[in-house]
Structure 1
Amino acid sequence: MQVLDKQLEVGPEPAEVGRARRWVRAELLRASRGHPCPACPDESQTDTLVLLVSELVTNAVVHTGRPAMLHLSARGPACTVPVRLEVVDGSSRAPRPRRAADEDTGGRGLELVELLADRWGWQREGAGKRVWCELDCASGRDTPHDDRKVPASY
C-alpha cells in the first residue's frame, strides 16, 4: 500500500533547490496529518530528508543544466517503512562521490548522501539516470542510526 507518492518537476535554475526543499517539508507534514504514521519522520529525520533532497537536486541542476523530476515516496501503512527520494535527470553520466579538500566550497554532495542515507544508488533511465536514496524512519524517536544523522538547517 502506497502511503506517500508525490512528484515535483524541478527547473534547471539553482533557485529550484530551495523550492524542492520547501516542497518536501510541506509534503511530509501534509502526509503526517493525513495518516497516523505514514513514514514517521520526526523533526530530525525530516531535516535529514530535506538535506538529502537539497544535495540530489543540486547535483541534477548543477551538473546537467536541464529540468529534473523529484519523486518522494513511502510504502506501506507500518511505521517502519523507508522514505525514498529519487531525482531523474537527462544526463547519462554516472554520479561519482568526490572527496573535497577542506577549503573546497563544493564537492561534498554525494559524500553527505552516503553518510546520511541508509541506502542510495543510481540507475540508467532512458537517455538519463535516476539517483535515489532511502531513509529508514522507525516508529517513535529512537531510530536505528540516529547517531550518524546530522540535521540540516534550511
Structure 2
Amino acid sequence: MTVTATPRPTGHPGYSQTMGRVPASAEVARKLVRTALAAWSQEDLIEDAALVITELVSNAVDHARLESIRVVVTRPSEKFVRLGVVDRSRNVPYLRTDSNGDNTRGRGLLLVDALTDRWGTDRYRWGKQVWGEMKCD
C-alpha cells in the first residue's frame, strides 16, 4: 500500500489525513503533526508530539480492524493541541502497568501518558479515537 504525505487542512484549526494501517504511516503522521504545530507556532511541542503520534499510530497499526486509519491534529482550545488516531475498532486501549519482563512491546501508552497533559479514548458507534492533549505556550 502506498502512503502519501500530503496534509489536508480540514477546517480551522485542524489537520487530518487518512492513511494506510501500515508502520510507514507513522512517518506520514509525524509530518502532519510537524506541519500543524509549525502553522500554530508551537514548534517547542514538535519532538514530544512526534513521539506521541508515533505511539498512537503504532497501536492502531497493531490493533485496528480495517486497512486505514485517520490521524487528526486539532486545537480544542487556545491552551491545548490534541493528537488523535481514529480507527474502526471498538476495543479500548489500556495503560499497562505490569513490567511484562523484557518485552518492550505494549508499553506505548505509558509514553503517551508521560508526554501528554491528558489522554483518553472517544468511543463511537463504529470505532474510536485515541487521543492525547498537550498544553500550548
Which TM-score applies when normalising by structure 1?
A: 0.72
Q: How does 1:1-154 map to 2 (within 5 A)?
A: 4-32=13-41, 41-43=42-44, 45-66=45-66, 67-75=68-76, 81-98=79-96, 99-101=98-100, 103-138=102-137
Q: Distance in 2 between matches of 1:107 and 1:75?
A: 28
Please identify which structure carries the higher strand content: 2
Shift of 1:30: 3.2
User: Residues 21-40 of structure 1: CA distance to partner in whole angstroms, max 9, x if unpaired?
Assistant: 122112322343xxxxxxxx
> Gapped runs of 5+ residues in structure 1?
33-40, 139-154
The Cα shift of 1:75 comes to: 4.5
Letter paired with 1:91: S
Counterpart position of 2:3: none
Shift of 1:64: 1.4
Question: 2:5 is matched with which residue?
Answer: none
Question: How much does 1:72 deviate?
Answer: 0.5
Give the aligned residue type for 1:68. Answer: I
**Deviation, structure 1 residue 19:** 1.3
> Residues 36-68 of structure 1, C-alpha deviation per residue, up to 9 Å, x if partnerless?
xxxxx243x211111111111111111115311
Taking the aligned partners of 2:107 and 2:100, their CA distance within structure 1 comes to: 9
Cα pair 1:118 1:136 within 8 Å, conserved: yes
CA distance in 1, matches of 2:99, 2:60: 18
For the 8 Å contact 2:81–2:136, the answer to whether it is kept is yes
Runs of 5+ unmatched residues, structure 2? 1-10
Distance 1:100 1:25 in 2: 32
Question: Which runs of structure 1 show a deviation greater than 2 angstroms over 4 or more consecutive aligned residues?
Answer: 99-102
Give me the whole-angstrom Cα distance separating, in 2, the residues matched to 1:62 and 1:11.
12
C-alpha distance in structure 1 between counterparts of 2:127 and 2:50, whole Å:
23
| Letter of the structure 2 residue corresponding to residue 57 of structure 1 | V
- 2:123 match: secondary structure: strand
